[in-house]
Amino acid sequence: MPIFASKTECDDQLRQRIKEISGQEFQKCFQCGTCSGSCPMKEHINVFPRRVMALLQLGQKKALEEANTPWICAACHVCLVRCPRSIDIPRVMEAIRQVKLRENLDQVDPRRIEKEKIAELPQIAMVAGLRKFTS
């Protein structure tokens, strides 16, 4: 699937913030795709990690907001271990999440979680989930 990048939507401030928060030089990504091929969550994400790096390089804020990848990423570090550019991709994913959470925007509204689900889920999963998905 091609990436449709818009010059008018290029957000340099977003690029800078992600770089500052993650400490990662994602511009070094040369789109080899190793991260995407290695990601155990690829069936659940709508934008592969390689594409997330490309969207970041192009400062495509809207497309990044529509990607569920930073939220689904399990921080398993497989992509980091295999990346020929040693980019800490899980850190980049975390930085993308932080940009949203620091604006006090939750990814999940705890009030909307069904009571039955809450009863079923292990407490530790609830705590970890709320820490990851809420500001």
Applying CB under 6 A, the residues found at the interface with ligand SF4 are 29-35, 38-41, 49-50, 53, 73-79, 83-85, 87, 89-90, 93
Q: Which residue do the tokens 């990346």 mark? A: 83
Report in angstroms how near the CB of residue 118 gets to ligand SF4 at its nearest. 25
CB of 127 to ligand SF4, least distance (A): 20
> Is the Cβ of residue 86 or residue 118 nearer to ligand SF4 in the bound state?
86
Asked whether 92 and 52 are in contact (CB, 8 A), the reply is yes
Under 8 Å between Cβ of 17 and 103: no
**Could you give the CA distance from residue 45 to residue 30 in angstroms, rounded to a whole number?**
21
Least separation in angstroms between residue 28's CB and ligand SF4 is 7
